[in-house]
Amino acid sequence: MPSLQTRARVHVTTISDRCELAPGVVLLGLHAPDLGKAARPGQFLMAIPPSGAAAAVALGIYEARADRASILFFVCGKRTSELSTLRVGDTLACSGPLGNGFDLSANPRDVAIVAGGAGIASALLPAEALIAAGARVRLYYGARTQALLVDAQRFADAGCELHAATDDGSAGRRGYITELLEQAQDRPDMVLACGPTPMLRAVADVARRFGIRAQLSLEETFACGVGGCWGCVVPLTAESAQAPNFPREDRGGSDVVFARVCKEGPVFWADELRW
């Protein structure tokens, strides 16, 4: 994957709109002209909870237009709880766009996007970009229950074919979304996936069996989020274009190097990860 990094900067944004998509799932529109123009599919931002008492939190960039970007988050801990209290007109500081994002340069014609839970927040921009380029896009969307399949209609309206699975069977297939992907009669040429690690590992297995490549957006816990602390590393083949450039002797002759999810990622080719 070539370097897809863009220049990040700090933005003081204003909340332009707010919507609770489901209990505990919040969509915040941000008036952020520079961020909206610069963001690419699969990039993220670090949002600074307004009290200043908690560290910044990594969130995917859900939508990006000329003067508006948005974030979509599941309230699960201190920082997302704090962000959920923001109202229209409040300010939110964030840095971004960060990370590499998905590599769509091969111009794939038939793409499966697999999203689980909060991973849906990183799925809309690549879906829209692929559809605009004339590709067929199937969204494989998994959630615990029907109410948490948030904003699915938005993807259908954008032109995605929807396939859903829920843990409790309240919508779509009961079970894992990767089981539906595995049953696809006509195989896609590429898979993009964002969601919890067990789902990403299952996607990597299915893609390997299909003989196609998969790009995985990893959900790692970040400390600094900007490449400074090396607290978010994953093992990667040294052959990868994303591998940090350590001399072979400094890695004890190993063919594996550690890459920072926040800096070299968060998106990696599944067949280059050594996890």
How many residues bind ligand FAD (CB under 6 A)? The answer is 20
Among the listed residues 121, 130, 135, 233, the single contact to ligand FAD using CB under 6 A: 121
Cα separation, 74 vs 21, whole angstroms:
10
Query: Which residues between 13 and 52 bind ligand FAD (CB under 6 A)?
Result: 44
Site membership for ligand FAD, residue 144 (CB under 6 A): no
Question: Could you tell me the smallest distance in angstroms from the CB atom of residue 138 to ligand FES?
Answer: 32
DSSP 89: T
Cα separation, 33 vs 215, whole angstroms:
28
Cα separation, 251 vs 68, whole angstroms:
44
Query: Which residues between 63 and 92 bind ligand FAD (CB under 6 A)?
Result: 72-74, 76-80
Q: Nearer Cβ to ligand FAD, position 46 or 207? A: 46
Question: Could you tell me the smallest distance in angstroms from the CB atom of residue 44 to ligand FES?
Answer: 12
In DSSP notation, 9-60 reads EEEEEEEEEEEEEETTEEEEEEE-HHHHHH--TT-EEEEE-TTSSS--EEEE
Question: Could you tell me the smallest distance in angstroms from the CB atom of residue 30 to ligand FAD?
Answer: 13
Which residue blocks in the chain are alpha helix, DSSP H?
Answer: 33-38, 78-84, 124-132, 152-158, 177-182, 197-210
Q: What is the amino acid identity at position 97?
A: P
Q: Nearer Cβ to ligand FES, position 231 or 235? A: 231
Query: Which residues between 234 and 263 bind ligand FES (CB under 6 A)?
Result: 260, 262-263
Question: Could you tell me the smallest distance in angstroms from the CB atom of residue 202 to ligand FAD?
Answer: 19
Query: Which residues between 209 and 228 bind ligand FES (CB under 6 A)?
Result: 222-225, 227-228
Q: Nearer Cβ to ligand FAD, position 179 or 220? A: 220
Among the listed residues 19, 133, 229, 241, the single contact to ligand FES using CB under 6 A: 229
Residue 149 · residue 143 · CB < 8 Å: yes
Tokens encoding 96: 């971004």
Tokens encoding 86: 């923001």
The residue with its CB nearest to ligand FAD is 77
Tokens encoding 44: 């993220």
Q: Is 167 exposed, middle or buried (0-12, 13-18, 19+ CB in 10 A)?
A: middle
Which of ligand FAD, ligand FES, none is residue 12 near (CB under 5 to 8 Å by kind)? none
Among the listed residues 231, 237, 251, 258, the single contact to ligand FES using CB under 6 A: 231
Question: CB under 6 A: which stretch of 88-96, 198-206, 230-238, 242-250 binds ligand FES?
Answer: 230-238
Q: Nearer Cβ to ligand FES, position 10 or 88? A: 10
- Residue 211 — left, alpha, or beta (φ > 0 → left; ψ -120 to 50 → alpha)? left
Nearest to 4 by CA among 217, 274, 221, 231: 217
Q: What is the amino acid identity at position 42?
A: G
Among the listed residues 27, 32, 57, 137, the single contact to ligand FAD using CB under 6 A: 57
Q: Nearer Cβ to ligand FES, position 162 or 226? A: 226
- Judged by the rule CB under 6 A, the positions of this chain that interact with ligand FES are 222-225, 227-232, 260, 262-263
